[in-house]
Structure 1
Amino acid sequence: MAGIITLQRSLIKKFLPVINRRLVSTSKKNNDTVTAEVTSTGPAEAKSAIERNWMSYGYDFNSKEADRNAMHSIMFASITLCIAVFGFYLAYMPDYNLRDWSQREAFLELRRREALGLPLIDPNFINPDQIQLPSDDELGETEIII
């Protein structure tokens, strides 16, 4: 067994520059490998290859510069102006539900009741003589939960 392993290692060392270095393949398509030759004669040809492989953002299909300018302008307007300005508007908009006013009034009422020595919450907020409760006959079998 050790001789076979040594033989395999020696064959791999001998043919390693020749064979593909990907020794383990997980694909069922072993022969579907694509190779491409890259030859460049200068920067003008490289620039034309970039222009040829340019993908538009969808704003202008003919001019790369106009497409990029439109994309940057629309992203600036949508993110900066819409999100940031709308966020400032929400943060500083008026208190239309009067939550701040009602909370200030509640604190003032608590301070007034503490200064007068009254309980903070009056158990008889409404005069009990003004409350009309139903009689036992009107309630019948209704369950009363306190």
Structure 2
Amino acid sequence: MASRLSRFWPTLSRVRLSSALGSRCVSQTPNSSASGAAVASDLQPVSPASQDSHGHAEVSPFEKNPDFHGFHHHDSFVDEWNMRLAFFFGISVAIVVGGTFIHYLPDHGMRQWSRREAERLIKQREAEGLPLMTENYYDPSTIVLPSSGEE
């Protein structure tokens, strides 16, 4: 384990040193000293900072606001409030309104109505003393059949 760590130690020390400097730097000489560790004089910035027409260096939104949410580039306060509003209306309100809408949808396929109607007919037939089901769906006395001569 120690041999693996010693193999990557120069790389780790360069990363630690460059993060301590506060900018992205890279060593131009692979083995600048006998120990293999880079020193501040060996490190150079990866890319020069771009400047606008007034000579001011352009700063990344992530450096200005490390908690950048992607809603406003310049103002972290507006960025945070826009994120909060977007998540509130996009998530909370959508779940509440959507859940309420789904709950109050009409009876699909009239399943609840057919159950209530069947229970009502069963109670009515039991009260009249009739069987719950008969062999004929329709009352045969009410069916009018054509005469044999009308065919």
TM-score (norm 2): 0.50
By how many angstroms is 1:68 displaced? 0.7
2:37 is aligned to: none
8 A contact 1:60–1:66 mirrored in 2: yes
Relative contact order: is structure 1 or structure 2 higher (C-alpha 8 Å, sep ≥ 6)?
2
By how many angstroms is 1:51 displaced? 5.5
RMSD: 3.5
1:58 is the counterpart of 2:37: no
Counterparts of 1:30 and 1:126 in 2: how far apart (Å)?
Answer: 93
8 A contact 2:65–2:76 mirrored in 1: no
1:108-132 residue CA offsets vs partner (Å, 9 max, x unmatched): 011112223333233322578x8xx
* Percent identical residues: 30
- Could you tell me which of 94, 111, 114 is aligned with 1:99? 111
1:77 is the counterpart of 2:89: yes
1:37 is the counterpart of 2:20: yes
Aligned residue pairs: how many?
A: 98
* Alignment gaps of 5+ in structure 2: 23-61, 144-151
- Could you tell me which of 92, 95, 98 is aligned with 1:86? 98
Counterparts of 2:97 and 2:119 in 1: how far apart (Å)?
Answer: 33
Counterparts of 1:116 and 1:78 in 2: how far apart (Å)?
Answer: 57
2:79 is aligned to: 67
Counterparts of 1:105 and 1:24 in 2: how far apart (Å)?
Answer: 82
8 A contact 1:60–1:67 mirrored in 2: yes
